[in-house]
Amino acid sequence: MRNYIICTKLLILLATCNLLPAQVGINTALPMDGTSLQIDGNDSGVLINRVALTGLDDITTIPSLTTDHTGLMVFNTATTTVAGVGLNVAPGFYYWTGTSWLPSKNGGVKRTGWVSLTDANLAGTVGAISDLAATDPSNFADIPINFEDDAADNIIDINAPTGLTGQDFFDSTTSKIKAIETGDSIMLRLQFNAIPQQNNAYLILAIDISNDPNNPIIIFQKTIRLLRGARLNRISETILLFQLATFKQNGAKIKVAYNNGSGTTGGGNFVTLSDFSLVINRLSSN
């Protein structure tokens, strides 16, 4: 009879515990409503598990990861430097998305970053235009840059913003720089070779965000002296651009115009352009 009473009381106690709110308080007897765990402490912190991840796709350091573990957080202690893939990690907090690890900084999304693009096979000539024609951007020539039509072309996007690739920054089909979001600011580093046929010639470099070749919208223009005729001039320009609505809608084309210094056209009055490379750095975003 005594054993029966003890067992009955134990069953009642267990049933009562199951009915209590599932809250845990550490250093507090009254966890706040809506919390499963509340930790109080004025001179201490919470130490999250420290692990050495091998990359954003690491599924071995913590075994048996599945989508059920989505939201799992760790502090990564490792730095990886695997070339050619955007899966490297650095020390900091990471959480499991169900399929990969993402840094907790900026909500796990890296919104700024850069891509490097190389057009190894583009080489062509641009004929000279007169002094008067050089004042009208509708006379400028489009540069048909394509970073994807030759095996020697190269796209490096391991440092791009999360989820973006080189193709998100440049459309090789239309030879246009693209805007990710309206309001972005980007820094371009454009490099190419120029071999003019005459000394003291000049090249006009421009960026056009219009879809109408007869009515260009020039957001950048610079005149560059080419002092060495029939010899290599390496052009390198760094350009800050703000991508507003028209830029987002139309994209931007790189254009050039050539003048041999005397305004003479035709014949052997041309410049040879080649070896284009472009680094696009997304500096800020909305």
C-alpha 98/C-alpha 72 separation (Å) is 9
Domain that holds residue 91: 45-106
Residues for the chain: how many in total?
Answer: 286
Does residue 14 lie in a domain region?
A: no
Domain presence at residue 36: no
If asked whether residues 76 and 148 sit together in one domain, one would say no
Note whether residue 10 is domain-resident: no
Please return the burial class of 204, using the count of CB atoms within 10 Å of its CB with bins 0-12, 13-18 and 19+.
buried
Provide the residue type at 124 as one letter.
Answer: G
Nearest-5° angle of CA 239, CA 279, CA 121? 115
Tell me the CA distances in angstroms from 224 to 11, 168, 238, one per residue in order. 89, 29, 13
In angstroms, the CA 285 to CA 250 distance is: 18
Per the CB < 8 A criterion, the answer to whether 226 and 233 are in contact is: yes
The 10 Å Cβ neighbour count of residue 45 is 7
Examine residue 34 and state whether it is found in any structural domain, yes or no: no
| Residue type at 48 in one-letter notation | I
Instruction: Tell me: do 179 and 275 sit in the same domain.
Output: yes
Q: Cα(75)–Cα(77) distance, rounded to whole angstroms?
A: 6
Name the CA radius of gyration of the chain, rounded: 30
For the domain that residue 119 is a member of, what is the CATH number? 2.60.120.40
Domains in the chain, number: 2
User: Which of 79, 106, 133 is the last residue in one of the domains?
Assistant: 106
> Which of 77, 106, 135 lies at the terminal end of a domain, its last residue?
106
d(CA 162, CA 166): 12
Q: Flag whether 211 is in a domain.
A: yes
Which residue, chain included where needed, has tokens 């550490």? 26
Would you say the pTM of this structure is higher than 0.75? no
DSSP state of 128: B
Q: Encode the chain (286 residues) as per-residue pLDDT tens digits.
A: 555 555 555 455 444 444 455 688 788 888 888 888 888 888 888 899 999 999 989 999 999 899 999 999 999 999 887 754 567 888 889 999 999 898 887 565 678 999 999 999 999 999 999 999 999 999 999 999 999 999 999 999 999 987 789 999 999 999 999 998 899 999 999 999 999 998 889 999 999 999 999 999 999 999 999 988 889 999 999 999 999 999 999 999 999 999 998 888 988 899 999 999 999 999 976 6
Pair 97, 122 in one domain = no
Q: Of 106, 134, 155, which marks where a domain is finished?
A: 106
Note whether 144 and 276 are same-domain residues: yes
According to DSSP, residue 31 is labeled P
